[in-house]
């Protein structure tokens, strides 16, 4: 039965549909795995054992009744604790929401339930999705299953760690500056940031509304595509949701091919600050793409050099506004309400007690950037950089004629827990390659491209596509994945040490 946890989501769904195994057996196998290893990994903040088994029983009953099952029916999934779940705690990794039980489901949660996906529980994350290491969780860090003394990436480290430790077959993340792709890269898994607006943000606790995007995490490109299709689509409850058909991502993942494609290598994504082993694996990926029949060209995106600076003004500005809702009045923590203090004082005491360092840092930075006298110099200029970055992408995909861009996902492999904890600028560098895509709103994927020779840790390859062309990520990703697996003789994750 332990083999059930090693199956891909597509395999699990097929076995359940054919009656070879039951959804309850699959769920029980994953719950047993969580029980055995999560004390070490700490991928989960909350495991909903009873709820998961109830969902699994419902899938089995549907099958027995002869009802048609969806393509992911019965597959166990780990949900980032940023999505509201009716009746199940949602903390966003913060003390300020400790014990909060939402009275409603996020649209994404509802879609997963409608697709008969089994939700195992809520995964650990940097507080309010602010961070690149999952060390900012108020509930303690998550370990990287490849080396538990190292970070699993952030902010969705719990989701990727759950996949890499075989605690779940699928997971959900959110990507504001790289929080799906970066954990995927450093844990040897697959993560996709869909086009901005492709997946509803209703019920996803807002950090930076113009950048936040939910998306799929998986162990294979096909599994990510199946999950992408299950969660994407227009939502009338979200005014930023795109009202257009979802690109054919599953079809693309089943027909991976790069022959005749023009692949652009971003000149700006290498050089200082990049680990030698990361660049080595990236260069091998470029060679692989050429062998597979792609034409590879260098692309100049000069404004990308300013992306990190623009992001660390825009994201804090939007967060300082979004997090104003945590005022100790309607939900969450309330501190200092002894009958003598004003509402304003209670709010300030509550936020001091409920928010962690990184959240406070960004709230203050955002308040500064939006303040009168500095607004034009900081927030206004950052928005101009955003225009220039969008133009760089448009030029590459337009007159440059490239179909996709590629780069390393992260400049380095996973670093030791604690190493950058007190150096915010060093921490922010982890987002260097992922941020331009969030600023422009287009789509990107990270998938494994080998282990860095110097530390044996996974390296991620990033593929970037124009907005609404998410299917290109899957077409290229599937081709690269198949070629690498053939070269290695197995998926990369099989080289991870057993827990």
Partner 1 sequence: MPGITREEVAHLARLARLELKDEELDHFATQLDDIIGAVARVSDVADEDVPPTSHPLPLTNVMRSDDVRPSLTPQEALSGAPAQEQQRFKVPQILGED
- Smallest distance, Å, CB 466 to partner 1? 12
Q: Strand, helix or coil at 260?
A: coil
- Smallest distance, Å, CB 215 to partner 1? 15
Residue of 15, 80, 122, 150 marked catalytic:
80
- Chain length of the chain: 499
Distance CA 334, CA 103 (A): 19
Nearer Cβ to partner 1, position 60 or 318?
318
β-bridge mates for residue 119, sequence order: 77
Nearer Cβ to partner 1, position 254 or 361?
361
Eight-class DSSP state of 323: G
Nearer Cβ to partner 1, position 25 or 210?
210
Distance CA 71, CA 251 (A): 13
Per the annotation, the verdict on 159 as an active-site residue is no
Burial class (CB in 10 A: 0-12, 13-18, 19+), 409: buried
The DSSP-derived string for 190-232 is EEEEPPTTSB--TTBPPSSTTT--EEEEESSHHHHHHHHHHHB
**Please, which contacts does 292-296 make with residues 24 or more away whose CB atoms are closer than 8 Å?**
292/258, 292/259, 292/479, 292/480, 292/483, 293/258, 293/259, 293/260, 293/261, 294/258, 294/259, 294/260, 294/261, 294/262, 294/263, 295/260, 295/261, 295/262, 295/263, 296/263, 296/264, 296/265
Nearer Cβ to partner 1, position 53 or 206?
206
Q: Strand, helix or coil at 175?
A: coil
Residue showing tokens 């053939």? 486
Nearer Cβ to partner 1, position 269 or 326?
326
Per the annotation, the verdict on 160 as an active-site residue is no
- Smallest distance, Å, CB 244 to partner 1? 11
- Smallest distance, Å, CB 429 to partner 1? 10
Which residues contact residue 198 at a Cβ distance below 8 angstroms, ignoring those fewer than 6 apart? 213, 232, 242, 246, 443, 470
Q: Are the C-beta atoms of 43 and 162 separated by less than 8 Å?
A: yes
- Binding site residues, partner 1, CB under 8 A: 100-104, 196-197, 210, 236, 239-240, 242, 303, 306, 308-310, 312-313, 320, 324, 327-334, 337, 339, 341-349, 351-352, 355, 360-361, 363-365, 367-368, 371, 376-378, 380-388, 390, 424-425, 439-441, 467
- Beta strands 76-80 and 295-299 are unpaired
Residue of 165, 179, 285, 407 marked catalytic:
179
Nearer Cβ to partner 1, position 60 or 470?
470
- The tokens of 448 are what? 């494994």
Per the annotation, the verdict on 155 as an active-site residue is yes
- Smallest distance, Å, CB 269 to partner 1? 18
Nearer Cβ to partner 1, position 351 or 475?
351
Residue of 132, 137, 155, 160 marked catalytic:
155
Q: Are the C-beta atoms of 141 and 134 separated by less than 8 Å?
A: yes
- Smallest distance, Å, CB 330 to partner 1? 6
Of 30, 25, 15, the C-alpha closest to 56 is 25
- Smallest distance, Å, CB 312 to partner 1? 5
- The tokens of 347 are what? 């709010």
Nearer Cβ to partner 1, position 77 or 204?
204
- Smallest distance, Å, CB 438 to partner 1? 9
Examine residue 155 and say whether the peptide bond preceding it is cis (omega within 30 degrees of 0).
yes
Q: Are the C-beta atoms of 73 and 105 separated by less than 8 Å?
A: no
Distance CA 412, CA 150 (A): 12
Which sequence positions are flagged as catalytic? 80, 155, 179
């Amino acid at each position: 039965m332990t083999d059930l946890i090693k199956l891909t989501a597509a395999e699990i769904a097929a076995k359940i549909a054919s009656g070879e195994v039951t959804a309850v057996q699959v769920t029980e196998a994953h719950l047993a795995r969580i029980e055995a290893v999560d004390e070490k990994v700490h991928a989960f903040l909350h495991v909903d054992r009873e709820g998961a088994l109830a969902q699994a029983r419902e899938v089995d009953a549907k099958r027995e009744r002869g009802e048609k099952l969806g393509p992911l029916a019965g597959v166990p999934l780990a949900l980032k604790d940023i999505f509201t779940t009716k009746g199940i705690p949602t903390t966003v990794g913060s003390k300020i929401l400790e014990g909060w039980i939402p009275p409603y489901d996020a649209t994404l949660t509802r879609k997963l339930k409608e697709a008969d996906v089994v939700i195992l529980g809520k995964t650990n994350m940097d507080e309010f999705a602010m961070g690149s290491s999952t060390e900012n969780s108020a509930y303690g860090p998550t370990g990287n299953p490849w080396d538990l003394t190292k970070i699993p990436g952030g902010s969705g480290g719990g989701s990727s760690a759950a996949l890499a430790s075989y605690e779940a077959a699928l997971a959900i993340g959110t990507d504001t500056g790289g929080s799906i792709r970066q954990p995927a890269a450093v844990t040897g898994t697959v993560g996709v940031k869909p086009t901005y607006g492709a997946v509803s943000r209703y019920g996803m606790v807002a950090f930076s509304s113009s950048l936040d995007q939910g998306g799929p995490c998986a162990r294979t490109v096909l599994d990510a595509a199946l999950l992408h299709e299950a969660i994407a689509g227009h939502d009338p409850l979200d005014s930023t949701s795109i009202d257009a058909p979802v690109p054919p991502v599953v079809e693309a993942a089943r027909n991976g091919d790069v022959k005749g494609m023009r692949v652009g290598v971003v000149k700006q994504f290498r050089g200082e600050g990049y680990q030698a082993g990361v660049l080595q694996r990236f260069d091998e990926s470029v060679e692989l793409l050429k062998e597979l029949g792609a034409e590879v060209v260098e692309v100049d995106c000069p404004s990308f050099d300013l992306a990190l600076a623009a992001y660390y003004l825009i994201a804090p500005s939007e967060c300082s506004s979004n997090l104003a809702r945590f005022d100790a009045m309607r939900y969450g923590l309330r501190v200092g309400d002894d009958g003598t203090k004003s509402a304003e004082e209670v709010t300030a005491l509550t936020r001091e007690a409920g928010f962690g360092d990184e959240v406070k840092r960004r709230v203050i930075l955002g308040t500064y950037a939006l303040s009168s006298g500095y607004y034009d110099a900081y927030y206004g200029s950052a928005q101009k950089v955003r225009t220039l970055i969008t133009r760089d992408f448009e030029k590459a995909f337009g007159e440059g004629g490239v179909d996709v861009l590629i780069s390393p996902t992260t400049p380095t492999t996973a670093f030791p827990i604690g190493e950058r904890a007190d150096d915010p600028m060093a921490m922010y560098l982890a987002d260097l390659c992922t941020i331009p895509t969030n600023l422009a709103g287009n789509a990107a994927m990270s998938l494994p491209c080998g282990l860095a020779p110097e530390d044996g840790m996974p390296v991620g390859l990033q593929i970037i596509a124009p907005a609404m062309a998410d299917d290109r990520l899957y077409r290229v990703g599937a081709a690269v994945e198949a070629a690498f697996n053939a070269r290695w003789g197995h998926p990369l994750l099989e080289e991870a040490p057993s827990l």
